[in-house]
C-alpha cells in the first residue's frame, strides 16, 4: 500500500441510495480511515451526501449532475467542477456514473487540467461504441474498474479497437458493510412483526422494485412454493415507482395478500435478512455485483438467484442455487429444494470471501490509484 497520502475526488450523480452509492461511501470511509483525503461531489440532498457527512467526510454538493442532454445543467457543472478541480490539489478523480463522468471529463478539457480519471463501471449494460464514448475512453478516462468480470467484457469492442488495453480494466467486486451485518441482530422481532409461525419459512427479495429485479417472476413461482409450504411468507424489501403499483396490483389480483408482505424501504435490512430462510434475486437485467447476495452469504442464508451478470461470480454451490432468468418453474423448484434442506451447510460468516469486505475493496482501489499515478499496470 502507498506510503503517501492521496487526495481523491469521488463523484456520483444518484439522488437515492443504491448499491453504487453504498460502494462509494464504503470506499471513501475506508480511505479516510487510512489517512487519505476524500471529497465526494454529489447532488444537493442526495442520500449519499447525507450519509457521507454523518461519517465525517467532506461533501461538495453544488453540482447538478443531470443528463448530458441538459446543456444548461452541464455548462453549470463544467464551470463548478472546473473551479473545484483548479482550486483543490486532487491527485485523481474517481467517477461512478454517466452524468458525473461527462461533467468531469468536459471540465478537465475546458480548463486544461491534468488530473487522471478513474471510472468505475457499476452495471453490465452494453457500453455504446459511438464516437462520444470512443473519445471519452481514449482521451479522458485513464483506467476503468469493472464490478464483475462480465461487466469488464462489455468493453470488448474498445479492446479490439485499441482504445482501451485489457490491463487498463480491472475487476473489483463490491463489498458489504461487514460491521453492520456482524453486530447482534434480532430476527425474532421481524418474525413477530410479520406474524410468521415457528415453522413458516420466510423468502425475501431485497432491492428496489423494478422490472429487472424479477418481482413478477417470483410472483409466478409462488403457487408452486405455497403448494409445498402453505405457510410461506414472501417479503419484498424496497420501493419503486410505477413498478411498485404493478406488483401490488398483481398480488391483489392473484389473491396472494396473505403470503406477500410489501415492506417498502427499510433501515433494518440486517435484521430482515437474518430472519429469512432464503434470499432470492430472480434478476432479469443488469445485476453486476449485488450486495444482497453477499449479505445473505455473510449471515449464512442460502440464496436462489438468476444466472446473469456478475451473479455467478458470487454464488457458489455451497451458497445457493442459480436458475435461468425468467424461469419461474425452475425458480420455484430451487426455493422448495433449499427450504426442504433448511440451509444445510450454511453457517454465519463461515467462508465469507475477504474480497467482499471494505478493507479489501480499499486496498484493491489503492493499487489501481497508485498504478495510475505511477504509470504502471495493476498487479
pLDDT tens digit string along 63-92? 999 998 899 999 999 999 999 999 999 999
Contact assessment for residue 121 and residue 94, using Cβ atoms and an 8 Å cutoff: no
pLDDT tens for 359-368 read: 999 999 999 9
Number of domains in the chain: 2
Residue 379 lies in a domain: no
Better-predicted residue by pLDDT, 337 or 376:
337
Average pLDDT (16-44) is: 96
Helix axes of 215-228 and 328-341: crossing angle, nearest 10 degrees: 50
Does residue 305 carry a pLDDT above 70?
yes
pLDDT of residue 349: 60
Instruction: Kindly give the residue spans of alpha helices, DSSP state H, lying in 117-230.
Output: 131-135, 149-152, 156-160, 178-182, 187-194, 215-228
Average pLDDT (152-160) is: 96
Antiparallel, parallel or unpaired: β 7-11 and 37-43:
parallel
Same domain flag for 165 and 227: no
Same domain flag for 76 and 200: no
Residue 1 lies in a domain: no
pLDDT of residue 175: 95
Residue 96 lies in a domain: yes
- At residue 5 the predicted structure's pLDDT band, cuts being 50, 70 and 90, is very high
- At residue 261 the predicted structure's pLDDT band, cuts being 50, 70 and 90, is very high
pLDDT of residue 352: 80
- Quote the pTM value: 0.88
Does residue 298 carry a pLDDT above 80?
yes
Among 58-67, 90-99, 237-246, 322-331, the range scoring the smallest mean pLDDT is 237-246
Same domain flag for 161 and 195: no
- At residue 309 the predicted structure's pLDDT band, cuts being 50, 70 and 90, is confident
Same domain flag for 125 and 43: yes
Same domain flag for 88 and 233: no
Q: What is the layout of strands, in order, in the sheet containing 303-306?
A: 260-264, 233-237, 202-206, 278-281, 303-306, 320-323
Contact assessment for residue 141 and residue 93, using Cβ atoms and an 8 Å cutoff: no
User: Please, what is the end-to-end C-alpha distance for the chain in angstroms?
Assistant: 12
Same domain flag for 159 and 287: no
Domain containing 307: what range?
178-355
The rounded distance, in Å, linking the Cα atoms of 145 and 173 is: 9
pLDDT of residue 236: 97
Instruction: Kindly give the residue spans of alpha helices, DSSP state H, lying in the chain.
Output: 19-33, 47-54, 71-87, 98-110, 131-135, 149-152, 156-160, 178-182, 187-194, 215-228, 242-253, 269-275, 291-298, 328-341, 358-374
pLDDT tens for 207-247 read: 989 899 999 999 999 999 999 999 999 999 998 889 999 99
pLDDT tens for 107-143 read: 999 999 999 999 999 988 899 999 999 999 999 999 9
pLDDT of residue 240: 86
Same domain flag for 246 and 299: yes
Look-up of cell digits 432479469: 284
Same domain flag for 264 and 320: yes
- Taken in order 226, 295, 19, 51, the sign of the CA dihedral is positive
Grid cell of 45 as nine digits = 440532498
Does residue 2 carry a pLDDT above 90?
no
Does residue 378 carry a pLDDT above 80?
no
Computed over every residue of the chain, the mean pLDDT equals: 93
Average pLDDT (295-310) is: 92
The rounded distance, in Å, linking the Cα atoms of 327 and 337 is: 16
Same domain flag for 267 and 122: no
Does residue 345 carry a pLDDT above 70?
no
Same domain flag for 158 and 187: no
- Tell me the CATH number at 28: 3.40.50.2000
Same domain flag for 224 and 319: yes
Same domain flag for 63 and 127: yes
- At residue 60 the predicted structure's pLDDT band, cuts being 50, 70 and 90, is very high
Residue 2 lies in a domain: no
Better-predicted residue by pLDDT, 288 or 263:
263
Residue 244 lies in a domain: yes
Average pLDDT (11-29) is: 95
Does residue 4 carry a pLDDT above 60?
yes
Does residue 1 carry a pLDDT above 60?
no
Amino acid at each position: 500500500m502507498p506510503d503517501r497520502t492521496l487526495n481523491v475526488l469521488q463523484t456520483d450523480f444518484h439522488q437515492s441510495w443504491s448499491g453504487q452509492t453504498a460502494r462509494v461511501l464504503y470506499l471513501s470511509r475506508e480511505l479516510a480511515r487510512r489517512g487519505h483525503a476524500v471529497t465526494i461531489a454529489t447532488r444537493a440532498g442526495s442520500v449519499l451526501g447525507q450519509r457521507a457527512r454523518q461519517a465525517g467526510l467532506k461533501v461538495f454538493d453544488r453540482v447538478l449532475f443531470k443528463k448530458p442532454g441538459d446543456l444548461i445543467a452541464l455548462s453549470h457543472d463544467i464551470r463548478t467542477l472546473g473551479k473545484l478541480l483548479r482550486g483543490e490539489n486532487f491527485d485523481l478523480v474517481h467517477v461512478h456514473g454517466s452524468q458525473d463522468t461527462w461533467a468531469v471529463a468536459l471540465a478537465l478539457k475546458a480548463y486544461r487540467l491534468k488530473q487522471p480519471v478513474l471510472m468505475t463501471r457499476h452495471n453490465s449494460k452494453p457500453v455504446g461504441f459511438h464516437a462520444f464514448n470512443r473519445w471519452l475512453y481514449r482521451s479522458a478516462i485513464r483506467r476503468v474498474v469493472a464490478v464483475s468480470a462480465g461487466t469488464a467484457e462489455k468493453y470488448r469492442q474498445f479492446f479490439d479497437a485499441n482504445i482501451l488495453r485489457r490491463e487498463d480494466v480491472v475487476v473489483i467486486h463490491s463489498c458489504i458493510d461487514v460491521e453492520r451485518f456482524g453486530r447482534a441482530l434480532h430476527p425474532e422481532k421481524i418474525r413477530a412483526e410479520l406474524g410468521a409461525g415457528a415453522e413458516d419459512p420466510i423468502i425475501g427479495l431485497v432491492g428496489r422494485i423494478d422490472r429487472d429485479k424479477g418481482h413478477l417472476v417470483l410472483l409466478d413461482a409462488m403457487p408452486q412454493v405455497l403448494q409445498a409450504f402453505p405457510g410461506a411468507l414472501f417479503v419484498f424489501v424496497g420501493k419503486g415507482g410505477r413498478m411498485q403499483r404493478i406488483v401490488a396490483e398483481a398480488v391483489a389480483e392473484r389473491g396472494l395478500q396473505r403470503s406477500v408482505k410489501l415492506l417498502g424501504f427499510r433501515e433494518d435490512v440486517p435484521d430482515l435478512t437474518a430472519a429469512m430462510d432464503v434470499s432470492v434475486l430472480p434478476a432479469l437485467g443488469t445485476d453486476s455485483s449485488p450486495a444482497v447476495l453477499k449479505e445473505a452469504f455473510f449471515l449464512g442464508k442460502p440464496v436462489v438467484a438468476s444466472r446473469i451478470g456478475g451473479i455467478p461470480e458470487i454464488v457458489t454451490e455451497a451458497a445457493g442455487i442459480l436458475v435461468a432468468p425468467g424461469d419461474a418453474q425452475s425458480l420455484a423448484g430451487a426455493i422448495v429444494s433449499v427450504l426442504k434442506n433448511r440451509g444445510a451447510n450454511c453457517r454465519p460468516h463461515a467462508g465469507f470471501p475477504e474480497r467482499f469486505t471494505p478493507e479489501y475493496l480499499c486496498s484493491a482501489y489503492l493499487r489501481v490509484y497508485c498504478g495510475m499515478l505511477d504509470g504502471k499496470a495493476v498487479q
